[in-house]
Amino acid sequence: MKVAPWSPELAEQYRALGLWSGETFDDVLRAWAGDADIASHTAVVDVDRRLSYAELHERVDLLAAGLAALGIRPDDRVLLQIPNRVAFVETVFALFRARAVPVFGLPAHREAELVGIARSAGAVAIVAPRAHEGFDHRALVEAVAGQVDSVRHLIDVDDLDSLFAEPIEHGRADPSELAFLQLSGGSTGIPKLIPRTHDDYLYSVRRSNEVCGVTGDTVFMATLPVAHNFPMSSPGILGALYAGGTVALTASPTPSVAWEMVQREGVTMTGLVPPLARLWTETAERGTEFDISSLETIQVGGARCPDELARRIGPALGVTLQQVFGMAEGLVCYTRLDDPIEEICTTQGRPMSDADQVRIVDEAGEPVSSGPGFLETQGPYTIRGYWAGAGADSFAPDGWYRTGDVVELNEHGNLVVRGRGGDRVNRGGEKVSAEQLEEQLLEHPGVRDAVVVAVADQYLGERTCAYVIPADPQEPPNLAGIRRFVREAGLAEWKLPDTVKVVDGFPETGVGKVSRKKLRALLAG
């Protein structure tokens, strides 16, 4: 169903090379639960719960049966908004077992995003906590369900046991078919849905494990929101589970909470976005009473890590740094653990697989050998199209994915990310669509016109600045009022503008288009 296919030639090649192995996620859990050496090993742990592989398997059986009893059928989409807790892993694997399709919403999403995602997915159920970090998720998902006809069930993730039912046989998923829907960090405000198959995603997980040295001894901590592609699969929690290792889930990424988990569980590996890496590095440089010496590898990705920060991470935290440049659509690049330190600190690595194909093109789509230029890619785990045909212009006529990222290839074959087109602000890994925010600002009665651009920020890498032409120059809107307005419109907190500048006009390009480039230059000045 609805997965844009690879060409028959590529598919045959990926199978012949053994990249697509015909395994499913449920096969993986069943195999470990049936393996005497691994079954009793901790699969997943959070601040107050711990499950071995055998226990996880058993609870997944009960929950999958319960979901089926509710009426959730194979191929039904189920929207998740689950924080970093053991229940995330239980729910995802129960949906896999029931052959339903998880849709990976984030705890930070609000009404506008969830309604958009649930609608385009045609979700039949939403799984969320009652409350999380002081926010009423129950009220949120009720409001979403009220607006999306397909949603028939709201499931409380804190009360999964109440659904448990006598285990049943669900049949086996087709590994070449849709396994779940990941969300794009893309330039549209409502994330586009990314259909991933068992074959393609499991290949990326297996290959990530090889590149990142993940084994049964790995304790991987999800520090970022676990539903995101980076902590999920690069190599992330799925990598650790694939290897028979342990997944630790921290409730908060701040050193005072996360490092307690590192110390308690002997965490060996985690992934951070650059602002968090800075916080961890600065905290460690000042000295800490936590014993974090079990940490071997820290990955940084999601946004460009400044070289200056990259150089400090290893020494401060006593780890090997790995830069990760990836996207939920597929391609993931890693620096290798044994790369020269200078390459690790100044590049974003290279594709994980020899079967990944990359090309750098100019504005006209013409190849430029080493860039800088726009990165395009195809490969065994990069999608050929979004869910239900959305965003077709993100794919070249020959099916390659247009990442939108501006990159350069250095003489050692590593990529350096230089930026992107101006449609998107990367706020420390959390992506803000300029277009979505502009549309929201235009709804504000005090705003006649608005343009959103990124400005450089030492901490976040980029932050958002909204240029606003007021409806009434005598009463221009202010930052607090605009932020309140956007929040009330149901947008996630990270999308509220950081700065508002009131102007009487926008600089224009030759053809009368607003020049984001000039606005940015103005800001830099």
What single-letter DSSP state applies at residue 367?
B
Which residues inside 322-381 make contact with ligand OOB, applying CB under 6 A?
Answer: 323-328, 332, 348
Question: Minimal distance in Å, beta carbon 349 to ligand OOB?
Answer: 8
Please state, as a whole number, how many other Cβ atoms lie within 10 Å of the Cβ of residue 473: 10
Q: DSSP labels for 27-70?
A: HHHHHHHT-TTTTTSEEEE-SS-EEEHHHHHHHHHHHHHHHHHH
CA-closest candidate to residue 407, choices 391, 421, 428: 421
* Contact of 270 with 298, CB cutoff 8 Å: yes
Residue number with CB closer to ligand OOB (206 or 431): 431
- Residue 145 one-letter amino acid: A
**Shortest Cβ distance from residue 37 to ligand OOB (Å)?**
30
Residues in the chain: 525
Q: CB within 8 A of 145, min separation 6: which ones?
A: 126, 151, 154
Return the bridge partners of 142, or none: none
Q: 323 or 515: whose CB is closer to ligand OOB?
A: 323
| Minimum gap (Å) between residue 431 Cβ and ligand OOB | 6
Q: Are the C-beta atoms of residues 464 and 427 closer than 8 Å to each other?
A: yes
Q: How far is the CB of 507 from ligand OOB (least distance, A)?
A: 25
Rounded to a whole number of angstroms, the minimum distance from the CB of residue 125 to ligand OOB is 24
Number of residues located near ligand OOB, criterion CB under 6 A: 24
Q: Smallest gap, in angstroms, from Cβ of residue 395 to ligand OOB?
A: 14
Nearer to ligand OOB, 45 or 106 (CB): 106
Q: Which of residues 305-324 bind ligand OOB (CB under 6 A)?
A: 323-324
Q: Which is nearer to ligand OOB, 295 or 332 (CB)?
A: 332
Complex with ligand OOB: residue 299 or 515, whichever CB lies closer: 299
Q: From CA 460, how far away is CA 165, in angstroms rounded?
A: 46
Piece in contact with ligand OOB (CB under 6 A), picked from 100-108, 111-119, 275-283, 298-306 = 298-306
Q: Is 485 left (phi over 0), alpha (psi -120 to 50) or beta?
A: alpha
Q: How far is the CB of 353 from ligand OOB (least distance, A)?
A: 14
User: 53 vs 395, which CB is nearer to ligand OOB?
Assistant: 395
For the segment 401-430, give every residue that binds ligand OOB (CB under 6 A). Answer: 403, 405, 417, 420, 426, 429
Site for ligand OOB in 158-217 (CB under 6 A): 184-185
Does 231 bind ligand OOB (CB under 6 A)? Our answer is: no
User: 67 CB contacts (<8 Å, ≥6 apart)?
Assistant: 78, 94, 95, 98, 100, 163
In the complex with ligand OOB, the residue whose CB is nearer, 335 or 440, is 335
The CA-CA-CA angle for residues 222, 62, 21, to 5°, reads 60
Give the footprint of ligand OOB on this chain (CB under 6 A).
184-185, 229-230, 234, 301-304, 323-328, 332, 348, 403, 405, 417, 420, 426, 429, 431
